[in-house]
Structure 1
């Protein structure tokens, strides 16, 4: 009896813990780990000569700055600049009351303006056949990407945001965006960045720099029902392509 019990305990100790069924359900989408994330903000103009050098507009909203409510930061003689954010006011900007979710981000897949991405989106985007999305493949006023929720982790900090633009640097990087953990961003700019995050996410995640290229995160898509409570739910963006 004692020998049998000892063997059972040893077998138990050597067997890896399997996630509970409810935990496995939360991993519907793969994690993308060790990804460089830079910061961008509504109203930023970092290269006026580049087609994608301004955040006054986004790939999904030709009047993004107006839709948001103004500069997501502070306006100086040099234009709209970012600022440090604090949890005491929900990481909100100091000079404007946002009309849309200040927890926004982009990923390098533009399913509206990139012709190849638009043509393939219903077959490569995992949620394309989910309720609320299916049947929209040829609708140029509907984006499968805009407003989707993303869970972002940096160390022990976890925050959530909604996609509101495409980039950085690439606009049809399906292998990375919808691929497995080992897929790396195709983008070679900005230290091979695979995501831009808003100032609110920058503050929430505790980035080391307000506008740098060294912070790294892990991220995964999540369905809205799996978004944890937090300041990212104070204002939820629901508007479609404008």
Structure 2
């Protein structure tokens, strides 16, 4: 057997799939054939996301829709001004949000392509949102956090590490639903758990009582105006369907799972070649 065959070729030969069964005759051609099979296998990798749950209660039952919520658009790197009193170069949970995201998430449609900025590929999920509650203050959990956040005990990892950041949210406009990750707190408030987790309505504010901020990607997917009305609900990772919200971001569960699956495949191929 010639040295330098791809690991997949070795694995195929080891299982009895010989060159006579491939459409190629020479060893070099067979190596190309094996590489092609491996690439096809990688493309078919469907991330398996482990989600610890204590209950099989459906999303619709556990997290009811918040209906008719005034929704505004915000973006990473947004400057303060007008009805936006706080700049968004950092978030409540990330002091280096703009840098970690990869740059300014321009809301200008002419500066965007396929839901992301045309000038760079974001390092975090471009489908993000903000809700008016922060579970952490001064590096510690707020006293009510373990009591009002439904998933607190399930996903808790360490003191002061937010259990809300990166949580998935479904956002609905008409018959169209978009999925985004919770990455900041607002509009205006960071203490309104009675609305975010319970049954109160958003409090009055300068943006017509807005209770949800969404990113330009969410805006574009749903076709929203600068100020609009949507419905939203929390969803478990397992309930997030395929869509552009799965494609980007070091904080994206699906991107992380795909990278892990590819790394395992490479390790297995390397082990088979030894």
Settle same-fold status: TM greater than 0.5: yes
Q: SS of 1:119's equivalent?
A: coil
Match for residue 104 of structure 1 among 128, 138, 156: 128
Match of 1:71? Answer: 104
TM-score by length of 2: 0.65
Does 1:56 pair with 2:89? yes
* Cα distance in structure 2, aligned partners of 1:59 and 1:226: 26
Runs of 4+ in structure 1 over 3 Å off: 114-117
Matches within 5 A, 1:22-101: 25-27=58-60, 28-47=62-81, 53-73=86-106, 82-84=107-109, 89-101=113-125
TM-score by length of 1: 0.74
* Bigger helix share: 2
**1:34, distance to aligned residue in structure 2 (A):** 0.2
- 5+ residue gaps, structure 2, are 1-55, 253-274
| CA RMSD between the two structures | 2.6
Matches within 5 A, 1:167-206: 167-180=186-199, 183-206=200-223
Larger Rg over CA atoms: 2
Match of 1:227? Answer: 240
Deviations 1:20-76 (A, max 9, x none): xxx97231211100001100000110239x8x6111000000000000000001xxx
**1:121, distance to aligned residue in structure 2 (A):** 0.7
Matches within 5 A, 1:113-124: 113=137, 118-124=142-148
Compared CA separation, residues 186 and 114, structure 1 to 2 (3 A) = farther
Contact 1:85/1:91 (<8 A) preserved: no
Q: SS of 2:169's equivalent?
A: strand
Q: Which moved more, 1:109-118 or 1:27-36?
A: 109-118
Match of 2:45? Answer: none
Q: How many positions carry a matched residue from both structures? A: 195
Q: SS of 1:37's equivalent?
A: strand
Compared CA separation, residues 68 and 109, structure 1 to 2 (3 A) = same
